[in-house]
Structures are given as structure tokens and as C-alpha cells.
Amino acid sequence: MDAKDVLITFPELLLWFPLLSGLIAFLLVKGDSAKRWATVSSFISVAIVITSLFFTDNNKYYNLNNVSYFWMPSLGSSFALKYDGMARMLCMLTSLAFPLVFLSTLKNNYKKPNAFYGLMLLTQAGLIGVFCAMDALVFYFFWELALIPVYFLSSYWGGERRIQATFKFFVYTFAGSLLLLIGIIYVYLHTPENTFSLKAFMEAKFPAGEGKFVFWLFFIAFAIKMPIFPFHTWQPDAYEQSPTAVTMILSGVMVKMGVYAVLRWLLPVFPQESASFSGIIIWLSVIGMVYASCIAWMQDDLKRLIAYSSIVHIGLMCAAIFSRQQSGFDGVMLQMFNHGINIIGLWIVVELIEKRLGTRKISELGGLAGTSPALTIFLVIIALANIALPLTNAFVGEFLMFNGLFAYDKWVAAVALISIILAAVYTLNMVQKVFYGSANSITAGGIGSLGSGAFLALSIVVIIVFVLGVYPKPLLGLTSETVDLIKSRLTGL
């Protein structure tokens, strides 16, 4: 099938569908039916993305855009989308994440449900746009589009200190975005024909010595989004204060925007600078891993603990990317998907505990293994997947990433590996305090039945954990072409 023969392509479909259904939910659907509307819509997205996996044409990375129409010809920007391996993988993650979120929060009643679900679907559209964009201006447009609904979601439906936390989150990430915008405009002015396409960006020539400043503009923007040490402090606050449904999207999918952007934009556009600054960035990430692990150990709030554990994982991804090894890239690709799934699973459990027991303080919980065995089994499986036990999905990714780091430098890998010991410490500590021991007055009743939605969502997560843990090949195969192209861009120096 050639692109021009078909009425609409998959990236367009994936993008416009949630946008449209989000707008409809926002404007037309009244009351509680918004919940059903959004759930059905998210499942249709899954169906689309699964169908799309069977069509493997047109995924040559840089040369051909699946979709390209002019939207600002005078600026040299075209609405270019691309559905290559990495985009497929991340679109799949995005499209899987939303049904999981909706299913697991089926029992929650949000005020103004039409606005809530409309904004959620809008976020989905923004995320798909980011992952498919092949034009810097389009990319920036969706980058912000994904951020803004999340701001409203968190600041309206969030926890007690939501205003403060979301303000920090918004201003922090927005400051990063502005740096990104400056960087994009700078590169744009140095492209051969003043266009925003990725291809042109890669051909851009900078005056001597200026490339590195632009590199840092881009990098800091992405580092804030990921986030890596020391740009991470918005994250625990935002995760803690956002409604859990939003936290799931934030941590499961949105932080992947940063990792993705580094792979898609930073490395190919600045191969030389990436090489020369890789040392600093890797050490920063690795120190951040150990540091965040230590802090995670000290947390008393389940949400903050998971937030810090996420910083550890993202740090590893960032370090692995900048090790610029084949296996590092492959590992990052796997881990982007798997980390998204696992952390959503963790949030589902936390949400259940918080909603049913009214607290998520580790010190106030205990003995849940006796009173709620099903929840405990799910949590233990997902938590162990989160610390990369073999035959769970995260293992292969982490193994490959550490391998990439080792190939870069033995000592870096050794320091980074300390985090797997600390991961066991804080995870088992949490499991012990929350689930083992005797039940207290808060946990005596258990959390009752999980509810079919949450049970289904957790089952899906666990199935993915094991299937991809035993047989990661399909996912590796999906992204291998993208990895090869990034790699060739780096070695072609």
C-alpha cells in the first residue's frame, strides 16, 4: 500500500480519533456516560494500534513521511507524521495505557466527568502526536498539547496541595519547553532551506562552537521532562498530588516523551555533541540513580516511593542512551514500553489501597497479605518486575542497558548496578511493611473485592509482564530498524 492510495493512515487515525472523541466527550457527552464513552474510545484506539501492527510498509525512517501536508508553508513546516518502529511501540504503549487507566478507575466518580475524560483523551492525542511527529514545529506543538490538559487535570482533580505542585510542575516543564523552542528556532535558522523537518534538522550546519549550546538547550528540556537528576524535583510532588489516573499517564507515558525525544531528536541532530558530552550526562544519570534509590528507601508515602523508583529507571535509560551502544538502545526501547506498563500496574495497586483504606502512608499500613491476598500477589509480581527480576518484562531491557553501559565503561556500570541492590532494599522494605506482618485497625478489613475493572487491568499488566519477560523478541524486532538508523547516524561521523 502506498501512502497516497489510502484515505487515512494509521498515525492520523490514532491522532485524530482520540482528539475528536475527546472534544465530543468534552462538549457533547453529559455526566456519567462520559466515562463509558472514554473507555470505549480508548479500546477502539487499542484496536487500531493492534491492527496497525500487521501493516509494516512505509517505515523507512528518515526518507519518507507517512503523512505530510503543508500547514505553514511560509515557515517551511509541514504536518509530517511517521509511523516507524519506535513510534509504533510508543503509540502501542499510549493506547494500552489509557484503557488500563480507565478500567482501573472505573469505580471512581470524578466531578465534571465530561471535562475529565475529555482532557484525558486530549492528552492521548497529544502524546500520539509527539511520538509520530517528524517536523520540529509539529513536535513542539504536540509536546505542549500533551502538557496543558495534564495541568488542568492535576490542578482541578488533584490532592490537597495540588495548586502548588501543579504550578511547580507546569512552570518547570514549561521553562524546559521554552528552551526547547529556542533551540528549535535556532536549528531551523541554520537548516539549508529553512524548514522544520527532521531531515533538514540533521543537515543543519552550525557555526563552530555554537552547536554545544544548542545541544544543552535541547538536552535540559528533555532532561526536565524525563526527569533525570538534578532536574527531577517536580516529579514526586506532581505524582503525589495528581489524581492517580493522571499520575499513571504522567509516569507511564509522558516521561517517555523525554526519552523518546532524546532518541528521535537530540542524538540524530547533534551526534557529535552527544558524543562529547556523553561522559557528563552518563555520570549525572548514574549518580542520580543511586541517589534516588537512597531517597526512595526513606519515603513513607507509596506514591513518592514509586516516583523516586521511576527516577532511577529513567536515569538508567538516559545513561544507556548516551552510552551509544547497540544493546543500550535496544534495552531502552524495551524498557520504555515495559516501564510504562509496570508502573501503571503499581499505580493501580496504590490507587486501590488509597481509595479503600484512605491512606497511602507505608507506616500506617500492614498485614494486607493476610486480608487481601489477590492484591498482594498482583503487587508483588509487579514490584518484582519493577526491580527487573528475570522472566519479567523489565529484566531483558535492564540487562541490555547495563550491558551497554558496561561496554561504555566498566566503572559506570558497576556504580549503576548498585541501584539493583538498593532497588531490592526499598521494594522489599515496602512489601514487608505494607503487606506482611499483622493487620492493624486500618487494614483489618482488607480492601475487599478488587472490582472487575481493576482486576482485569491488573491481569493485563501481569500477562504483559510475563509474556514480554519470556519472549521479548517481537518488541525487539519492532524497534530494531529504528535502532539501526540511530546507530548508523552516530557511527557515520
Partner 1 sequence: MSKLVYLVPLFPLAGFLINGLARKRLSKSLTGIIGSGVILASFIVSIVLFYDVKAGHSGAVSLFDFINTGTLKIPFAFQVDQLSSVFLLIITGVGFLIHLYSTAYMHEESNEHFARYFAYLNLFVFSMLLLVLGGNYLIMFIGWEGVGLCSYLLIGYWFKNNDYTNAAKKAFIMNRIGDFGFLLAAFWMIQQFGSLTFADVFSKADGMKSNDMVLVGITLLLFLGAAGKSAQIPLYTWLPDAMAGPTPVSALIHAATMVTAGIYMIARSNILYTLAPTTQGVVAAIGLATAILAATIALKQNDIKKVLAYSTVSQLGYMFLGLGVGAYTGAVFHVMTHAFFKALLFLGAGSVIHAMHHEQDIRNMGGLKKHLPVTHWTFLIGCIAIAGIPPLSGFFSKDEILAAAFSKNAVYWVVGVLGAIMTAFYMFRLYATTFLGKFRGTHEQEHHLHESPAAMTIPLIVLAILSAVAGFVGVPAVLGGSHHLEHFLAPIFAGSVKKLQHAHHLDHNTEYMLMGASVALAAIAILYAVSRFSKKPDLDEATGLGKVLENKWYVDELYNNIIVKPLRNLSAFFNNVFEKMGVDGAVNGVGKLVNYGSRQLRLLQSGQVAAYILMMVVAALILFIIQLFV
230: cis peptide before it, omega within 30°?
A: yes
Nearest approach in angstroms of CB 405 to partner 1 is 8
- Contact stretch for partner 1 (CB under 8 A) within 111-119, 136-144, 232-240, 444-452: 232-240
Establish if 413 lies at the interface with partner 1 (CB under 8 A): yes
Nearer to partner 1, 24 or 424 (CB): 424
Which positions ≥6 away from 431 have C-beta within 8 Å? 379, 380, 383
In the shown chain, the binding pattern of residues 2 to 41 toward partner 1, with x for contact by CB under 8 A and - for none, equals ----------------------------------------
Identify the three-state secondary structure at position 80: strand
- Contact stretch for partner 1 (CB under 8 A) within 134-142, 271-279, 312-320, 410-418: 410-418
Could you tell me which of 113, 131, 121 has the C-alpha nearest to residue 41?
121
Which positions ≥6 away from 250 have C-beta within 8 Å? 150, 238, 239, 242
444-452's contacts with Cβ under 8 Å and 24+ in sequence apart are: 444/367, 444/371, 445/371, 446/368, 446/371, 446/372, 447/352, 447/353, 447/356, 447/357, 447/368, 447/371, 447/372, 447/375, 448/356, 448/372, 450/352, 450/374, 450/375, 451/106, 451/107
Establish if 170 lies at the interface with partner 1 (CB under 8 A): no
Establish if 391 lies at the interface with partner 1 (CB under 8 A): yes
Of 436, 455, 481, 490, which one interacts with partner 1 (CB under 8 A)? 436
Establish if 486 lies at the interface with partner 1 (CB under 8 A): no
Say if residues 85 and 480 touch (Cβ distance below 8 Å).
Answer: yes
- The grid coordinates of residue 256 equal 517517555
234-237's contacts with Cβ under 8 Å and 24+ in sequence apart are: 234/168, 234/169, 234/172, 234/173, 235/169, 235/307, 235/310, 235/311, 236/303, 236/304, 236/307, 236/308, 237/161, 237/164, 237/165, 237/168, 237/169
Residue 464 amino acid letter: I
Of 234, 260, 265, 322, which one interacts with partner 1 (CB under 8 A)? 234
- Contact stretch for partner 1 (CB under 8 A) within 26-34, 188-196, 350-358, 431-439: 431-439
Establish if 279 lies at the interface with partner 1 (CB under 8 A): no
Nearer to partner 1, 141 or 291 (CB): 291
Of 41, 45, 242, 326, which one interacts with partner 1 (CB under 8 A)? 326
Establish if 384 lies at the interface with partner 1 (CB under 8 A): yes
- Contact stretch for partner 1 (CB under 8 A) within 103-111, 128-136, 177-185, 469-477: 469-477
In degrees, rounded to 5, the angle at the alpha carbon of residue 206 between the alpha carbons of residues 200 and 210 is 135
| End-to-end Cα spacing for the chain | 35
Rg (CA), the chain: 21
Nearer to partner 1, 52 or 403 (CB): 403
Nearer to partner 1, 14 or 282 (CB): 282
Of 174, 216, 297, 455, which one interacts with partner 1 (CB under 8 A)? 297
Say which DSSP state 78 is in.
E
Could you tell me which of 7, 83, 21 has the C-alpha nearest to residue 52?
83
Residue 115 CA to residue 42 CA, distance in Å, equals 16
Establish if 485 lies at the interface with partner 1 (CB under 8 A): no
Of 24, 204, 420, 485, which one interacts with partner 1 (CB under 8 A)? 420
In degrees, rounded to 5, the angle at the alpha carbon of residue 261 between the alpha carbons of residues 255 and 265 is 175
Nearer to partner 1, 278 or 480 (CB): 480
Nearest approach in angstroms of CB 432 to partner 1 is 5
Of 53, 480, 481, 489, which one interacts with partner 1 (CB under 8 A)? 480
Of 68, 108, 233, 278, which one interacts with partner 1 (CB under 8 A)? 233
Nearest approach in angstroms of CB 326 to partner 1 is 4
Establish if 425 lies at the interface with partner 1 (CB under 8 A): yes
Of 399, 456, 489, 490, which one interacts with partner 1 (CB under 8 A)? 399
- The footprint of partner 1 (CB under 8 A) covers 168, 171-172, 229-230, 232-234, 291, 294-295, 297-299, 326-327, 330, 367, 369-370, 373, 384, 389-391, 395-396, 399-400, 402-403, 406-407, 410, 413-414, 417-418, 420-421, 424-425, 428-429, 432, 435-438, 471-473, 476, 480, 483
